A and B are shown apart, each in its own frame.
Chain A
Amino acid sequence: MQAGREDPADEVLVAQVRGGDAVAADRLVRRHFPLAYTIALAVMGGHTDADDVCQDAMVRALEKIDECRSPSRFRFWLAQIVRNQARNALAKRRVRSGPPLEEVDQHPAPGHTGESAERGELRAVLLAALELLTPVQREVVLLKDLEGWDHRTIATALGVSEGMSRQHLFAARGTLRRALGPEALKEHTEGHRHG
């Protein structure tokens, strides 16, 4: 994606953040928070901790931004930090012998109190359905259908082949369709603009 003067490229923002520019940091965070949140959701299985994990990971990314060797690929670097942070959080929870994720109530994440009841309900249903997928299936389907990434990009980010990415997507969509039924999921058709 080419960034204009009003929308500086990631490498420009990363350079400014390295110099301590808080405005650039704010832009970088807002630009990539949705992706970070998506990955945290995928790894955490839709648990409410995804929001905390995502914030922790982004704070860490700003602290360690000198270690981002390819600023133009900042999003991939950030995605890896979020993934690691989420896995660590899951491991810690297992060590503490907390209840399995499947038994935790699927409340909407903090910060969603202002959303419409219908959207909140649909969100809760989707989060519960995501629990049926493996972490890699969740990540593939969320990156593809929510973030609009292509298979090559997903494969690079996850370290799998494009063929595996397609297989995971196929399996994930099938599971979600069976779990949610045709009414719960609007399928995008030609001309339907993906938000």
Chain B
Amino acid sequence: MDDGRLDLTPLKPDPEHVDRAAEAILARSRETLAGRKRMHASVWREIPGWERPLLATAALAALLSIVALIRVHPRVPGEQVATLSEVAGVPAAVAPWVDSNQPPDKASLLNW
């Protein structure tokens, strides 16, 4: 509740005033709105038109990429696959322990 509120309602535009103003504003904005509608409609019409060419282009690009990868990195027959210790850069002396996946016994540690 706000006791001090003043009644200023005579300043409010009456419904006829709002009607006339809204009609005038809409009349002046007709071209703007029509332009927006055309643009909006054309965007939605374009999307289905581009769907198939886009999919075809994507598929072609994927195919070309696979061919290119195969040509750049051909698999050499008999090529040895690197072990985990080689990839990790483990010293050669320790590599057998790493590759065997077993902890070294005391004798091996003392000898090393």
Interface residues of A (CB under 8 A from B): 17-22, 25-26, 29-30, 33-34, 37-38, 41, 51, 54-55, 58-59, 62-63, 109, 111-112, 114-115, 119, 122-123, 126-127, 130, 141-142, 144-146, 173, 176-177, 185-190, 194-195
Contact = CB atoms under 8 A, between A and B. Distances in A.
Given A26-B22, A34-B12, A59 B28 contact: yes
Contacts of A144: 2, 5
Given A19-B40, A20-B33, A33 B8 contact: no
A40 B112 CA distance: 92
14 contacts: A18-B40, A20-B37, A21-B37, A22-B26, A37-B13, A51-B21, A59-B29, A111-B16, A123-B10, A141-B8, A146-B11, A185-B6, A187-B4, A187-B6
B94 interface: no
Interface centre among B6, B14, B30 (most CB of A within 10 A): B6
Contacts of A38: 11-12
A114 B21 CA distance: 14
Given A59-B25, A111-B21, A115-B14, A146 B33 contact: no
Contacts of B29: 25, 59, 62-63
Interface of B: 1-14, 16-18, 20-22, 24-26, 28-30, 32-40
Nearest to A127: B11
A33 B33 contact: no
Contacts of B14: 112, 114-115
Interface centre among B16, B25, B35 (most CB of A within 10 A): B25
Given A62-B29, A115-B14, A195 B40 contact: no
A111 B13 contact: yes
Question: Which A-B residue pairs are the 8 nearest by beta carbons?
Answer: A20-B37, A20-B36, A111-B17, A186-B7, A188-B5, A123-B10, A19-B40, A122-B10
A146 B18 contact: no
Contacts of B28: 55, 59
A187 B2 CA distance: 10
Given A19-B36, A26-B22, A63-B32, A190 B1 contact: yes
Contact of B6 (A17, A122, A173): A173
A142 B8 contact: yes
Contacts of A54: 21
Contacts of A25: 26, 29, 33
Given A18-B36, A29-B22, A112-B17, A126 B5 contact: no
Nearest to B19: A30
